[in-house]
Amino acid sequence: NAGVTQTPKFQVLKTGQSMTLQCAQDMNHEYMSWYRQDPGMGLRLIHYSVGAGITDQGEVPNGYNVSRSTTEDFPLRLLSAAPSQTSVYFCASSPRTGGLAGGRDGNEQFFGPGTRLTVL
Amino acid sequence: AQSVAQPEDQVNVAEGNPLTVKCTYSVSGNPYLFWYVQYPNRGLQFLLKYITGDNLVKGSYGFEAEFNKSQTSFHLKKPSALVSDSALYFCAVRDPGTASKLTFGTGTRLQVTL
């Protein structure tokens, strides 16, 4: 298994450009999440999904869109990049062993290697 | 709302000495607690978790953590530190009713020296 893969590893954008960060997992996990990591702030949840066709906002969703058309893929779209979106982005997945509305399974998340994004 | 505090930005310890990385949490119900480690330019790796049961949980690479409900703490420990343990450590909490929404602390950098 490749686990959680993210592309690209590095990206430089100009303010106002749009792009999509790709995330894929081959573990058949229902849960997938996007985080951003900034110095001194830990990881903050951007968007998450509990299954194909279901997404929801996290702590810092503004400026980002997601969709989940398949179990395997969870792309993150930056609509109009801003310097404040300069960060390292991590995708994560975990299995769901409980019911859809529960989330009481306590499974740990598996993280991808990250995408380092710079917005000029 | 759930939250996690890691009060130390950095912990320095000599190789062979015991180490402790502190974590306190706030959550409305019984928490699910996790420790992750991040090596330079890498993603996060899972170390250990507390879901229920024994308050002392053991994880990867000789690490362990003790859940203390009265002090709302989940400190990470290792009896004998290695230079290779030097990394960034994150504590995270999840309310069992919130699906996959993890809340992370700000991280503690562990520096182990010879």
* The three-state (H, E, C) secondary structure of B54-112, written as one string: CCEEECHHHCEEEEECCCCEEEEEECCCCHHHCEEEEEEEECCCCCCCCEECCCEEEEE
User: Which of the residue ranges A88-97, B4-13, B94-103 would you say has the lowest mean pLDDT?
Assistant: B94-103
Tokens linked to B72 = 């709302």
Q: How far is CA A14 from CA A116, A120, B89, in A?
A: 14, 5, 32
Q: Looking at residue A101, what is its pLDDT?
A: 47
For B42, the closest chain A residue by CA position comes to A113
A119 CA to chain B: closest CA distance, Å?
19
pLDDT tens readout for residues A25-83: 999 999 999 999 998 888 999 999 988 999 999 999 999 999 999 999 999 999 999 99
Question: Average pLDDT in the A16-33 region?
Answer: 95
A41/chain B closest Cα distance in angstroms: 5
Q: Is B85 helix (H, G, I), strand (E, B) or coil?
A: helix
